[in-house]
Amino acid sequence: MILYKYMSFGAARKVIDTLSLGFSCLEDLNDPFECTAFGFKDSEGSISAKTATDACRNRFSRKYGVLSLTRQPLNALMWSHYGDSHQGVVLGFDCDSAGFSDPKSNVIPSQYGEMIYSATKPHNDLLVIGENELMDIGGSLRFDSNAFNLMKRAFLYKSLEWAYEEEVRVVKNIGEIPFGYHTGGGCYRECNKVTVSGRPLYCFDVPENSLKEIYLGRHLYRNVTKGGSVADEELKGVLQSWGEKDIKMMQCEPDVHSWNLVAKPSINKS
């Protein structure tokens, strides 16, 4: 299965050059309702549903990293919101080759990470979490039958308003990974923690052969014509280097007969 990531041209260059993708904490995502869909029951003699939700959200937000992907590389709204207003790039990754579907390295692998969009939150049907279970979050808690509801509601519920994204998530436990270490054959970086706009980003390596498709935004060349972040010759050089790779490279443009975007082979592809 191939899933897609929308990004700016500059971000795409970094991903392709470093062969790594960034995972974000829940608290740094753009939906203020992230990790609030637990639907805990209010009951006498125990902590309130709000207190339990806040405690879980705090633990989940700091212990896990989320990679947001989508099924569709030709979504005009996604291009506008996440593809730098059609000036950016969409990268398509094979989930198996990239390791996104591996249940050993992901607490929620891609095949279980499809978002659930609903007009109302789940409510009043989940028992308030106990202290021991709370402390397991970020430790022994895994996406299995015992923790299914808790993990699903923490990561995979969003309002129906977001359904246009067709999001699929991959979730990692960032508390258990090594931030750069050496092997016997030299230096090998599995994960690198960086800071972007004051927020942590956990960059995990992906194999070169996992990148299968590149889609260029309709207005990518505005980076040049309107004094953007890259010069004309530099842009041409980057696109030529991408075209030399064994990757399908496509140019997006509006369909003359419908409101859809279509993709055609890029002229920069060798």
157-159 and 116-118 as β-strands: parallel, antiparallel, unpaired? parallel
Is 264 a residue whose pLDDT tops 80? yes
Mean pLDDT of 227-247: 81
Write the DSSP string, 108-124: B-GGG-B-EEESS---S
Q: Which two tokens stand for residue 239?
A: 């696109």
Pick the range with the lowest mean pLDDT from 19-28, 45-54, 155-164, 256-265: 45-54
Q: Which residue stretches of 74-216 are H helix? A: 76-82, 95-98, 131-136, 148-155
Q: Which two tokens stand for residue 188?
A: 């090998």
- State how far the Cα of 177 lies from the Cα of 189, in Å rounded to an integer: 11
Is 45 a residue whose pLDDT tops 50? yes
pLDDT band of residue 260 (cuts 50, 70, 90) is: very high
Tell me what pLDDT residue 185 has.
35
Tell me the chain's radius of gyration from C-alpha atoms.
20
The label of the residue with tokens 């947001």 reads 68
- State how far the Cα of 239 lies from the Cα of 268, in Å rounded to an integer: 6
- State how far the Cα of 137 lies from the Cα of 270, in Å rounded to an integer: 49
Global confidence as pTM: 0.87
Q: Which residue stretches of 119-245 are H helix? A: 131-136, 148-155, 222-225, 232-243
Tell me what pLDDT residue 189 has.
45
Mean pLDDT of 40-60: 85
Tell me what pLDDT residue 182 has.
33
DSSP 42: P
- CB 115 within 8 Å of CB 31: no
52-94 per-position pLDDT tens digit: 899 999 999 989 999 999 999 999 999 999 999 999 999 999 9
Tell me what pLDDT residue 176 has.
65
- State how far the Cα of 147 lies from the Cα of 225, in Å rounded to an integer: 52
Q: Quick one: what percent of the chain has pLDDT higher than 90?
A: 60
Is 178 a residue whose pLDDT tops 50? yes
